[in-house]
Amino acid sequence: MKLIAFQAPSGARIGLWRDDGIVDLSGRLGTAVRDLSDVVSSVSAGRLREIEATAAADFAHGAVRLMKPLERWGKCFCVGVNYPERNEEYRDGSDRPQNPSLFVRFPESFVGPDEPILRPPESEQLDYEGEIVLVIGKAGRRIPKAEASKHVWGLTISNEGSVRDWLRHAKFNVTQGKNFAKSGSLGPWIVPFADLPPGPLRVTTRVNSEVRQNDTTDRLIFPFDRIIAYISTFATLEPGDIILTGTPSGAGARFDPPRYLKAGDTVEVEVSGIGTLRNMVADEVVHG
C-alpha cells in the first residue's frame, strides 16, 4: 500500500497509488480527514486495505501531480552521523557517538517528488543526503525499544538537502544550513511499516545517474528502535511527526574536491521496499 498526496484538477487530494491508477481517498474518508497526517492518526489500516482492494481507480497516474506526502507536522527530528563511515568522514579522531545527534527541520524546507529543490543565492554548497523517514502513527512518551515499531505507521524517503557552509555559522548548531526553503524533498509516498520486506533496507542516492551513496539499515549506529526510544525520552511523539534517520557516506562535501549540486542536476534517492524520490536542482530566483 502506498499513501499519497496529490494535486488533481479539482485541487489537493489524498489517495492510494496502485499499479492501475490512483484511488481518491478524499471523498471516501469523511470531511474530518484533511490530509495524510489525519489518515495516520485516525484511519485504520484495515479500512485503507478494504478501499484499496475494492475501489475503482479514480485517476490515471499521469493525470495528477504528486505532492510531498506530509504538509504539516508537529515535530520533525533528524539524526546526524548515523552510519559508521559518516563518523569517520569527519576525520576528527572521535569515537562513535554514544547518543544520537539531533536537529530539527521545518515544513517549508521540503518539496515533494519531481519538484525542483532550490540552491539559494547565499551559497554554492547545496548538498544531497538520501535518508529513510519514519512516520509516527501512535503517540508515546518514554517508549521502550521493544515497543518502538508499534508507534511507526510507515516509512517514506527524503533528500535531506544541506547548505554546507551555513552549517558552520554558529558554534553549536546546524539549524540554519538545514532549513533553507525548498532545499530538501520528501516522498513520493508513505508505505506502511507492515508492508516492508523482511531484513535490512538499502538506501541508494544517485546524482545524474551516478551512484554516490549506497548502504543498508543493518549498519546504522542507532537503529530505528533506539532512535524512537531516545527521542521519546524528552519529547512526546505524536501521529504525523517524522524522524529522518541519517544518511550514508558519500555526500558531496566528502569528495576531494567537493561535488556540490548545481542547477540542472537530478538527484534520485531509492530505498528498497519503498520506491524512488526524484528531484531536479534549480537556482532560487530572488525577486526584488
- pLDDT of res. 257: 95
CA distance 267 to 35: 27
**Quick one: cell of 156?**
517514506
Give the closest residue to 130 by CA, choosing from 83, 66, 65: 83
In the chain, the amino acid numbered 199 is G
User: Is the confidence at residue 89, as pLDDT, over 60?
Assistant: no
CB 148 within 8 A of CB 225: yes
State the DSSP code for 59.
B
CB 23 within 8 A of CB 15: yes
CB 261 within 8 A of CB 252: yes
User: Is the confidence at residue 56, as pLDDT, over 70?
Assistant: yes
Q: How much is the pTM?
A: 0.95
User: Is the confidence at residue 92, as pLDDT, over 90?
Assistant: no
- pLDDT of res. 93: 62
CB 7 within 8 A of CB 67: yes
Least confident of 58-72, 82-96, 174-188, 225-239: 82-96
User: Is the confidence at residue 145, as pLDDT, over 60?
Assistant: yes
How far is CA 163 from each of CA 13, 183, 193, 260, rounded to the nearest angstrom? 32, 8, 31, 9
User: Is the confidence at residue 26, as pLDDT, over 60?
Assistant: yes
- pLDDT of res. 32: 86
Identify the band that residue 88 occupies on the pLDDT scale cut at 50, 70 and 90. low
Identify the band that residue 168 occupies on the pLDDT scale cut at 50, 70 and 90. confident
Catalogue the E-assigned strands of the chain. Answer: 3-8, 11-18, 21-24, 65-67, 76-80, 101-104, 110-111, 117-119, 126-127, 130-136, 152-159, 162-163, 184-192, 202-207, 210-216, 242-244, 266-271, 275-283
Segment 159-168 mean pLDDT: 95
How far is CA 115 from each of CA 106, 119, 184, 195, 240, rounded to the nearest angstrom? 17, 13, 10, 27, 22
- pLDDT of res. 94: 67
CA distance 214 to 231: 26
92 CB-near residues (< 8 Å, 6+ apart): none
- pLDDT of res. 71: 87
Q: What are phi and psi of 90, to 5 degrees?
A: -75, -20
CA distance 181 to 275: 24
- pLDDT of res. 96: 78
User: Is the confidence at residue 169, as pLDDT, over 90?
Assistant: no
Burial 155-194 (b: 16+ CB within 10 A, else e): bbbbbbbbbbebbeeeeeebeebbbbebbbbbbbbbbbbe
- pLDDT of res. 288: 72
- pLDDT of res. 239: 95
**Quick one: cell of 187?**
516522498
Query: What percentage of the chain has pLDDT greater than the value 70?
Result: 97
Quick: pLDDT tens for 62-76. 999 999 999 888 999
CA distance 101 to 147: 22
Q: Which residues pair with 210 in a beta bridge?
A: 207
State the DSSP code for 57.
P
Q: Which domains are seen in the chain, by residue range?
A: 3-67 (no CATH), 76-283 (3.90.850.10)
